[in-house]
Structure 1
């Protein structure tokens, strides 16, 4: 079947929703072209259907496609940032990485190598998880591409700096402890945002401080407000290469019930989006949105929230990138 796409600014854009109903056709992210349909993409959205590192409810392996389905409703102009990301740069859906669900070590190596392959020609990634285990190999790849340890903002209800679970060093609760140990994070510019809930003990916080993390709790966001939090984060990050990792459970379960380890008292989807938009102009080099588990999602609320988070991250990347070689277009798009 002929694809009826919007072409603007020399970029091959989404399926034209004025001619093809949003519920029809393949569910790529925001109905964008596949990576193999363009010559080059400045930004690629890629899925990692992997959740073998979870410690409670499984199902995040289905998160990427749930986000893609919800993203059918996204539109090409982002008024909050006054940017048309799909017009400014070529954005494409790179599909899913094929990772081993039975071997966490091999899966981590696969994600790292795939991320390096996808970014070899300057493409920036927004990755859809999948559980938070995948952040470690994505950070390894981002650091290699940046040529130095990267700053990181970690949006999550949890610290994810624990040592082991059942003796396992690589799980969704340990990636950032491993990242600090490996020296791939700039420990003067890392922070959690939205943390809350009970911990195993005060040592969790002591270890976290020792690793260099700042902590912005969900209560801090509520009491101080978004603008003060944004100023605090921007001051901490400065001009360093920045990676943003968003566990969707940073949101209150009222906004994101479809996740594996929900915690009461979270931030709202509005607060999360406004904080992300406040990062505009920083040197964003990559991002992920993880832990969407659609089996627990009521009325696709979590998928919708995650699709908007991913869209704003794509927009932030597009806003800072210089457009490259225009994508090829089909005759009907010219």
Structure 2
């Protein structure tokens, strides 16, 4: 079976070539492919800083420095997975409903072919389009959400479809099962207690940042695994989950977040979960000093890919 993998950096310097993720081949095909990187450069649903539409480009540009061997898992990732960069969804700036249709048109065929989509955002509104596509293949899924906000608002600035509302809409549309879903990292000042209470009333388990610090990484990983059980799982990672000292390039920064190393440890521990999709959203290059946010984002995505490789290694 042909495997798609990054260009060998011992033969081609890392600063050469087209900027695909990790210099994977740019191919829009699904045969012999385990995962596909998909960019969704849309930020018209952001409520504060614009510019996350440039997130996919920035993450790809930072990614050639990511190597292929995981010392934590002791695995050469691309010995067990084949991946491509599928390019970007042709979004329609200013039209979120048409953009949702475009997202679904790209993601659904990947899901049907059992190719795991790994989406680069874009603001967090795009996740609703992804979940619509995933639901058509897998039915209701559990979500593991790393974020500083619950994003279960009903109406924001008079709009029902924003980066602060996607998970309420997903529950209303029957796309996810909140009884198996968990949100981790919520922190910061609020407009009112309903920002957390509404999420719990919808059925989500919420672990605030303070609760996370009290529990410790190992116990949070156990809690996540217990919550999702054996359901198909979608992981959504808002980069503002991480403290802005380590990820300043984001649209709605909240102080008091986790360290970058803690975020990586969390992802690495999520083995033995049936992941059917991932995204990483809200990277905003304009505020990213020395590319530290996009570099971190590219490493988090590598850890997502490594989880797929570990699963495949167990099946060999």
TM-score range, shorter chain: over 0.9
Matched, 1:273 2:261: no
Q: Secondary structure at the match of 2:211?
A: helix
Which residue of 134, 146, 149 corresponds with 1:155? 146
Conservation of the 8 A alpha-carbon contact between 1:130 and 1:290: yes
- What residue is the counterpart of 1:171 in the other structure? 162
Q: Secondary structure at the match of 1:117?
A: helix
Conservation of the 8 A alpha-carbon contact between 1:49 and 1:130: yes
Matches within 5 A, 1:114-193: 114-146=106-138, 148-193=139-184
Conservation of the 8 A alpha-carbon contact between 2:141 and 2:177: yes
Matched, 1:209 2:204: no
Quote the Cα distance in structure 2 between the aligned partners of 1:10 and 1:106: 35
Conservation of the 8 A alpha-carbon contact between 1:251 and 1:269: yes
Count of equivalent residues: 315
Q: Which 10-residue stretch deviates more, 211-220 or 313-322? A: 313-322
Quote the Cα distance in structure 2 between the aligned partners of 1:319 and 1:140: 27
Conservation of the 8 A alpha-carbon contact between 1:50 and 1:131: yes
- What residue is the counterpart of 1:248 in the other structure? 239
Q: Deviations over 1:218-262 (max 9, x none)?
A: 222222210011111111111110100000000000010000000
- What residue is the counterpart of 1:40 in the other structure? 32
* 4+ residue segments displaced more than 4 Å: 36-39
Which residue of 20, 23, 42 corresponds with 2:12? 20
Bigger CA radius of gyration: 1
Which residue of 220, 225, 229 corresponds with 1:234? 225
Q: Secondary structure at the match of 1:23?
A: coil
Conservation of the 8 A alpha-carbon contact between 1:193 and 1:218: yes
Conservation of the 8 A alpha-carbon contact between 2:146 and 2:183: yes
TM-score (norm 2): 0.95
Q: 1:36 to 1:139 in 2, by over 3 A?
A: closer
Quote the Cα distance in structure 2 between the aligned partners of 1:164 and 1:318: 40
**Bigger RCO (CA 8 Å, 6+ sep):** 1
Matched, 1:109 2:101: yes
Q: 1:149 to 1:69 in 2, by over 3 A?
A: same
Please, which runs of 5 or more residues in structure 2 have no aligned partner?
A: none
